[in-house]
Amino acid sequence: MIDFTNVSITYSGASSPVLRGVTLHVPEGELCLVIGATGSGKSSLLGAVNGLVPHFTGGRLSGSVTVAGRNTRDHPPRELADVVGVVGQNPSASFLADTVEDELAYTMESLGLAADVMRRRVEDTLDLLGLVALRDRAVATLSGGEAQRVAIGAVLTAHPQILVLDEPTSALDPAAAEDVLAALQRLVHDLGMTVLLAEHRLERVVQHADSVVWLPGDGTAVRGTPAQIMAHSPITPPIVSLGRELAWTPLPLTVRDARIPGRRLREVLPPEPPTDPPRIPGAILAETRALTVRYGGVLALRRAGFVAREGEIVAVMGRNGAGKSSLLAALTGLLKPAEGQVRIAGRDPRELRGRELTSHVGLVPQQPGDLLYAETVHAECAAADRDARAPRGTAGGLLHRIAGALDLDLHPRDLSEGQRLALALAVVLTSAPPLVLLDEPTRGLDYPAKERLVHTLVGLAGAGHAVVLATHDVELAAEVSTRTVVLAGGEIVADGPSRQVVTQSPVFAPQIAKVLAPLPYLTVRDVRRALAAVPG
């Protein structure tokens, strides 16, 4: 169905190809997972399948890519649209209609399908992806996760033979992600669709894959079964990392696989994991009192009382549309409360302007590119230094610490999603705001980049900043947060120490907690430290 034959892709100005001599075959009716570090070429590989590379992205492609018998060199994307459906990393950027139902129908209208066929397919897709309640919603009012599901649905209504998805669960809460992945499996198993999917959150998807293509970052590609690739890849989900560390055979790919060896592990682990001395929170930096936020007739937050203190890392979790982004927007003064109060350093953030606001609070939004406007990464960093009146090189140093080495001459739009996030975070942190807000900060980040982000956030908290993360990434919350707040229907339904809150929730519990329950272990690091302390 998909064939790469000695494919190399080189972009103008690049010192080496992003893909080099790649040959692989993805058969019909297979779910193939593409993994690799940020910037390893995943998006380029996916873009080559529908002809975006090189017809629209530029660069030079050698070798051949054949899709359903069509060579992409001879067939631009418009001539492949009937066989290849694509959902990108930023789904809302692809919306062309005003409402969800119209967006689902748009592609079929472009293909000239009959009205009765369109109607039936729209209804099927609404049911398949759980979008019935959203059918009349304006696409501009959708949360990030809702927009992701609508974008997938808009592609599915055309009934393509191949579905290509770039980070399809990155903006989804755990339950919604499972719903989407289950729907993709039904498409593969029942309809014989071929799905090519790039994803960083392997804990969600590796168990659903028939095969895995690993891009090591040197331009090559390695294809194998999930078990074969996970045995050697440096990029692994927590239970695979634990299984490799403890030499479990066979290597577990799912929580269920890990429960049998997990029982034996529970017998030797102490009842409580060793922990670092607790950080004592300092002064209140941000507070909401009976905060209510409405979007027209939609109630986003209902009488929410929230506090963030110096030295805290607070994870704000909840289903898509629960009010997480609304809470962060209110804390920056972007939203006017319908009721209640918001205070940043004792003041209403809507009264603060320009540098006065950024000196108190910094927000990295779900779409980090919204903060970037310069022509190069270097110019973006230099502008951040000037705006913050920081020493030259401050933003660049932060960027290197978070993302590693980057080509500073690249345009920000040419960065991967994770690299753009790292750049936006460096720009925000250059002003050293006491309150740092991040909306889905690990979207597009690989595991090494996430580790660097964790190190950065812990350093901020240690320096007295308050960090608030609105996130669906339960592994990040387990690794870094000191406190977890859970929102549901716009209300705060849980607020307490992270180890206590996440272990009590089957939806928001990390993989290690599910394997070792009822012991309160959250991470591989917890287990490693505990075993090191066991005599003998």
**How do residues 14-41 score in pLDDT, each as one tens digit?**
778 999 999 999 999 999 999 998 778 8
C-alpha–C-alpha distance, residues 239 and 250, integer Å:
12
Tally of CB atoms within 10 A around 166: 22
C-alpha–C-alpha distance, residues 22 and 117, integer Å:
39
C-alpha–C-alpha distance, residues 382 and 390, integer Å:
10
Helix (H, G, I), strand (E, B) or coil at 453: helix
CA distances (Å), 175 to each of 180, 181, 197, 319, 473, in order? 9, 10, 19, 8, 12
The strand pair at 2-10 and 60-67 is best described as: antiparallel
Angle ∠(411,415,416) on CA atoms, nearest 5: 165
| Residue segments in the chain with a per-residue pLDDT below the cut of 70 | 144, 536
Whether 84 contacts 49, CB under 8 Å: yes
Residue 241, C-beta contacts closer than 8 angstroms, at least 6 positions apart: 524
Q: What does pTM read for this prediction? A: 0.86
Q: How far apart are the first and last CA of the chain?
A: 54
C-alpha–C-alpha distance, residues 531 and 536, integer Å:
10
Run of H or E including 259 = helix 255-268
C-alpha–C-alpha distance, residues 198 and 200, integer Å:
7
- Burial class of 456 by CB neighbour count within 10 A (0 to 12, 13 to 18, 19+): buried
